[in-house]
Amino acid sequence: MSTALKLATWNVNSLTVRLPHVLDWLNSQRPDVLCLQETKQEDSKFPYAALAEAGFNAVHNGQKTYNGVAIISPHPIAQVQFDIPGFVDAQKRIVAATIGGIRVVSAYVVNGQSVDSDKYQYKLQWLAALQDWLAAELKQHDRLAVLGDYNIAPDDTDCHDPAAWEGQVLVSPPEREAFQRLLDLGFHDSFRLFNKEAGQFSWWDYRMAAFRRNMGMRIDHILVSEALRSHCLDCIIDKAPRKLERPSDHTPVMLTLGI
DNA sequence: ATGGTTGTTAAACAA
């Protein structure tokens, strides 16, 4: 007898603004795990009560104005970890927890702004720290899923116009190599287990009617450990929330596991 | 066309 578990990730670009969308989505999809990024609020502002009303527990690692990550689940949330251990970072980009025997990480990878920026160097350093930490996590947790906004389009098929973006942040070779090093730890890009088509995106810039023209990137990912790979049943990008009034610029990605 | 939009917070900064 097996149970279906639904694990999702969504960069909401301000939970203050997007809470109605998130509550509607939680109520319609009833995921077992929803990881959020860019909540952009201090923990004192996080809507624990509204989520509890809908039947969900939550843990949040937030800060004012920027960043902020959360894990939401109807199940008990245990062994909560904030930030990357041993990596000094003023920015709130990681929360991890164990839910239903699965180790779950909600990650908001640094954007990097442009390849000649100090923020890009921070991005590469941050990714190196993430890799070291995930290597250690894998040793403790066979069933590990790392969900989030990676701010990396792993392949040219994940970018609407590879020629125009060549060498830029989100697609530059050093970032893609960092992403590959995560896969080399033993992770799988769960979306690509099911869908090899180009033009499947999770983020579209607000400008230039990019969503309508499908000028996007696939930068939100659900990486799963080897032990979870054979349990993956489906992974989809749900474009419906991106079509709503006042949407986030990202839309949810959701993995279904048969456990 | 080196543009455009959104969010936070009050003129930029980040994405």
Question: Among all strands, which nt has the closest C1' to A13 (CA)?
Answer: B7
Which of residues 212-241 of A have CB within 7 Å of strand B? none
Catalytic residue among A32, A83, A108, A220: A108
Q: What mean pLDDT value characterizes chain A?
A: 98
CA A70 vs. chain centroid, Å, equals 10
A149 is catalytic: yes
Q: Is A65 exposed, middle or buried (0-12, 13-18, 19+ CB in 10 A)?
A: exposed
Question: Among all strands, which nt has the closest C1' to A67 (CA)?
Answer: B14
Which of residues 119-178 of A have CB within 7 Å of strand B? 119
Query: How many folded domains does chain A comprise?
Result: 1
Which of residues 55-114 of A have CB within 7 Å of strand B? 64-66, 110-113
What per-residue confidence (pLDDT) applies to A1? Answer: 65
Q: Which nucleotides of B are covered by protein (CB under 7 A)?
A: 4-9, 14-15
Question: Among all strands, which nt has the closest C1' to A64 (CA)?
Answer: B8
Measured distance CA(A218)–CA(A241) in Å, rounded: 16
Q: From the CA of A183, how many Å to the C1' of B10?
A: 43
C-alpha gyration radius of chain A: 17
Q: Strand pairing of A102-108 and A69-73?
A: unpaired
Percentage of residues in chain A having pLDDT higher than 90: 99
Q: How big, in percent rounded to 5, are the helix, strand and coil portions of chain A?
A: 30, 30, 40
Q: What burial letters (b/e) apply to A16-46, b meaning 16+ CB within 10 Å?
A: eebbebbbebbeeeebbbbbbbbbbbeeeeb
Q: What's the CATH code of the domain at A210? A: 3.60.10.10
pTM of the model: 0.98
Task: Answer for A12: CB within 7 Å of strand B.
Answer: no
Which of residues 26-55 of A have CB within 7 Å of strand B? 40-41
Catalytic residue among A83, A149, A220, A249: A149
Q: What is the pLDDT of residues A168-216, one digit of tens each?
A: 999 999 999 999 999 999 999 999 999 999 999 999 999 999 999 999 9
Q: How confident is the model at residue A2 (pLDDT cuts 50, 70, 90)?
A: confident
What per-residue confidence (pLDDT) applies to A107? Answer: 99
Residue with tokens 């939970």: A15
Instruction: Give the three-state DSSP class for A228.
Output: helix
Q: Give A131's contacts (C-beta < 8 A, 6+ positions apart).
A: A178, A181, A182, A185
Task: Answer for A206: CB within 7 Å of strand B.
Answer: yes
Measured distance CA(A171)–CA(A161) in Å, rounded: 11
Q: From the CA of A148, how many Å to the C1' of B11?
A: 31
Range of the domain at A47: 4-258
Measured distance CA(A188)–CA(A117) in Å, rounded: 30
Instruction: Give the three-state DSSP class for A40.
Output: coil
Q: Is the pLDDT of residue A144 over 90?
A: yes
Contact A170, A211 (CB under 8 A): no
A108 is catalytic: yes
Q: What is the pLDDT of residues A28-83, one digit of tens each?
A: 999 999 999 999 999 999 999 999 999 999 999 999 999 999 999 999 999 999 99
